[in-house]
Amino acid sequence: MSLVVQKYGGTSVGNIEKIINVAKRGIAYKKKGHNIIIVVSAMAGKTDELLNMAYQINKHPDKRELDMLVSTGEQISISLLAMAIKNLGHDAISMTGGQVGIITDTAHTKARIESIDTKILKKNLKQGKIIIIAGFQGVDLSGNITTLGRGGSDTTAVAIAAATKADVCEIYTDVDGVYTADPRLVPNAKKLNTISFSEMLELASTGAKVLHSRSVIFAKRYNVKLEVKSSFNKSLTTKGTFVIKENKDMEKVLVTGVASKIDEARITIKNLPDKPGIAAKLFTALADNNINVNLIVQSSSQKNKNNISFTVPKTELKEATEITKTIANSLKTKTVTIDENIGIISIVGIGMKVNSGIAAKMFSLLAKENINLQMISTSEIKISAVIQKNSIKKAVQVLHKGFNLDKLKR
């Protein structure tokens, strides 16, 4: 008998009707002979509703109390789903993060899972129950409720799958898998049958919002087989995209996907003294304030002077700019500029590890369309470039076609 962990996001449990559909799917799997653990998020809109109440009190509410508040969202979903399953004649039990024994560190609103006690899960599975677990939450060693941050339900599901040695962790979402590009930008984008953890990770960080990065890291570390699939597809046999350990065959493909982001802005400081430790000072200050810096490029503009450019989410731009200006002032440099009119285009593929010339091909494809590259950043299996925001759609289409992704077989 296999063990399947399923995770449903907020849209999939957005109302009572949808919750009943999830209940039916869970029961159908159970009847096929699987043991089932279901991890759910808060109903769509619920978390924001709770946050809005908190923000009426304070724009930066106490984090312990915020976790106490928002964790109720998932608690509502699990109880309703368990009721729905029982109402359909099957046994089920809902459990909060604390009840499952998901122990985290004490970092409220962005806690990390430290351990999971699987005894109670095994006991309930043995009794034939479908177990419903609240995603996104745990408790610290003192019993305080903690939450894992945005996308935390994915992480809960993967962690539960790892701890219980589940055969597969199915992530249900509103798309039916991972695509070579966003189908809204590229109509002939292809659904991938498989993708490696590393590729998924790079895609997640470059704009493909299918899976939360941290859950992919977790899955990679514990080698949990992930499947991304649609909760709106009624068939149980339709496959989604499997996120798996990479293999040699995968390297035959040069590029697996094209991703883009338009929710970042660029900050530039010019004429910094060319001395060691300046970049460290800047990025430590930003990290201390929880600013998520993405691309960084440093270049020398003239003798003994450097420029540093980096991108941050637009939601953090104001705070990041203030911090950067303070640092710039302390270095007697006043030239801090910002550009919100940018986009980031990325290509991802583990084939890059063994194939050279991919960057050159990417740049020439973009150059042919007169798309100017403002910043370039590369990793082992990813190449990203900052370009003008209004060129993003064209860039995605050109790269998708240029790397023959519409004919990709994976």
3-state class (DSSP) for residue 410: coil
Separation of alpha carbons 272 and 331, rounded Å: 7
| 376: contact with a second copy by CB under 8 A | no
Cβ proximity to a second copy: between 36 and 84 the closer is 84
Cβ proximity to a second copy: between 72 and 377 the closer is 72
| 109: contact with a second copy by CB under 8 A | no
| 320: contact with a second copy by CB under 8 A | no
Query: What binding mask, one character per residue, do residues 11-30 give for a second copy by CB under 8 A, x or -?
Result: -----x--xx----------
Query: What binding mask, one character per residue, do residues 182-211 give for a second copy by CB under 8 A, x or -?
Result: ------------------------------
Q: How many residues contact a second copy, by CB under 8 A? A: 36
Ramachandran angles phi, psi of 221, nearest 5°: -60, -45
Min dist. Cβ of residue 87 to a second copy (A) = 4
3-state class (DSSP) for residue 278: helix
Cβ proximity to a second copy: between 27 and 348 the closer is 27
Tell me how far the alpha carbon of residue 234 is from its chain's centroid. Answer: 25
Separation of alpha carbons 253 and 231, rounded Å: 29
Cβ proximity to a second copy: between 71 and 173 the closer is 71
For residue 259, what are the CA distances in angstroms to 20, 49, 115, 227, 228? 34, 31, 34, 20, 17
Sheet strand arrangement including 375-379: 257-261, 342-348, 382-388, 375-379
Query: What binding mask, one character per residue, do residues 147-186 give for a second copy by CB under 8 A, x or -?
Result: ----------------------------------------
Min dist. Cβ of residue 80 to a second copy (A) = 6
For residue 188, what are the CA distances in angstroms to 5, 57, 341, 406? 31, 48, 27, 6
Min dist. Cβ of residue 94 to a second copy (A) = 5
Cβ proximity to a second copy: between 63 and 393 the closer is 63
Min dist. Cβ of residue 93 to a second copy (A) = 8
Which run of H or of E encompasses 360?
helix 358-368
User: 167: which 2 tokens?
Assistant: 């055969």
Which run of H or of E encompasses 344?
strand 342-348
Q: Is residue 232 within 8 Å of residue 9, measured between CB atoms?
A: no
Cβ proximity to a second copy: between 58 and 364 the closer is 58
Identify which of 176, 203, 192, 154 has the alpha carbon closest to the alpha carbon of residue 381. 203
CA dihedral 48, 54, 56, 60 (to 10 degrees): -100
Min dist. Cβ of residue 147 to a second copy (A) = 12
Binding residues for a second copy restricted to 35-74, rule: CB under 8 A: 50, 53-54, 56-58, 61-62, 64-66, 68-69, 71-72
Min dist. Cβ of residue 123 to a second copy (A) = 10
For residue 90, what are the CA distances in angstroms to 122, 160, 190, 394? 18, 22, 38, 51
Tell me how far the alpha carbon of residue 353 is from its chain's centroid. Answer: 23
Cβ proximity to a second copy: between 111 and 219 the closer is 111
Min dist. Cβ of residue 22 to a second copy (A) = 12
Q: What are the residues binding a second copy (CB under 8 A)?
A: 16, 19-20, 50, 53-54, 56-58, 61-62, 64-66, 68-69, 71-72, 75-76, 78-80, 82-84, 86-87, 93-94, 96, 98-99, 143-145
